[in-house]
Amino acid sequence: MSLTKEDLQAIGTLIDGKITPINARFDKLEQGQAATNAKLDKLEQEQTATNAKLDKLEQEQTATNAKLDKLEQEQAATNAKLDKFEQEQAATNAKLDKLEQGQAEMKALIRGSQEVIVEVVDVLGQKTDRIEKAIQDMQGAAAQNAYELQVLKSRAQ
């Protein structure tokens, strides 16, 4: 079977008719792929920028974690100082309580001493009164004796 030139042209025209839409589709696909590649390039650039930002954030997070660790160490040191201060304060409070107790005991002793002194002063006052009365009695007796002695002397003369 041999094909004529016209048959071949007709076949070529048919093939061209079928190939043209396919080529148009390929062109559209190539355009779509080019657009997709452009979008992919843009996404890759954005991903690179995002990765750079992420690296920067990781560095900042590392620095922040280091600062946080330092703050935690400082807080532990401060807590230790606070514990020591609280222990010293408790010891000081115990000393103050003991001092207040001693002061209360001293006040009680002073009150007791004052009462004893008042009693001693009263007793001394009473004894002084008795001594003064005894002196007065003795002076009276001495005066009586002197008077009687004078009377006796004058009778004796």
Cβ neighbours for 11, distance < 8 A, ≥ 6 positions apart: 3
The model carries a pTM of 0.46
Mean pLDDT in residue range 105-119: 87
pLDDT tens by residue, 17-69: 888 888 899 889 999 999 999 999 999 999 999 999 999 999 999 999 999 99
The C-alpha torsion from 18 through 20 and 21 to 27, rounded to 10°, is 140
Tell me, rounded to whole angstroms, the distance of Cα 152 from its chain centroid. Answer: 104
pLDDT tens by residue, 63-106: 999 999 999 999 999 999 999 999 999 999 999 999 999 999 99
